[in-house]
Structure 1
Amino acid sequence: MEILTLSIGVGVLFGFFLWEKTGLQPGGWVVPGYIAFFLSDPWLLAVLVLSSVLTLYIYRISEFWFLSFGQRKIVFILVLSILISECVHFITELFLESKSDFESKTIGYIVPGLIALSAERQGVPKTLSAIFICSVLVRLFLIFLFGEVVSVL
Structure 2
Amino acid sequence: MNSELFLVVGVVLGMLFTELTGISPGGLIVPGYIALFWNQPARIALTAAIAIATMFAIKFLSRWMLLFGRRRYALFLLVGFTIRAGAQLILPSLFPALGGLEAVGWLVPGIIASDIDKQGAPKTFLALGAVAALVRLVDLVVL
TM-score when normalising by structure 2: 0.93
Matched letter for residue 144 of structure 1: V
- Superposed, which structure 2 residues align to 1:107-122 within 5 Å? 107-122=104-119
Show structure 1 runs of 5+ residues with no match: 147-153
Deviation at 1:75, TM superposition (A): 1.1
2:99: which partner in 1? 99
Show structure 2 runs of 5+ residues with no match: none
1:126-147 deviation line (CA, Å, top 9, x unaligned)? 101110000011011112245x
Out of 120, 123, 131, the position equivalent to 1:123 is 120
Matched letter for residue 105 of structure 2: G
What SS does the corresponding residue of 1:25 show, helix, strand or coil? coil
Matched letter for residue 50 of structure 1: A
1:18-59 deviation line (CA, Å, top 9, x unaligned)? 101100101111000000010100110111001000000010
2:134: which partner in 1? 137
- Superposed, which structure 2 residues align to 1:34-113 within 5 Å? 34-97=33-96, 98-100=98-100, 104=102, 107-113=104-110
In structure 2, the CA distance between the partners of 1:20 and 1:66, relative to structure 1 (3 Å rule), is same
Q: Which runs of 4+ in 1 moved over 6 A?
A: none
Give the paired residue count: 142
Cα root mean square deviation, aligned: 1.5
1:59-97 deviation line (CA, Å, top 9, x unaligned)? 001100111111111111111111101112223222222
- Report whether the alignment pairs 1:12 with 2:11: yes
Matched letter for residue 134 of structure 1: V
1:31: which partner in 2? 30
Matched letter for residue 123 of structure 1: G
Task: Give the distance between the partners of 1:45 and 1:94, measured in 2 at CA.
Answer: 20
Query: Percent same amino acid among aligned pairs?
Result: 32
Task: Give the distance between the partners of 1:16 and 1:118, measured in 2 at CA.
Answer: 14
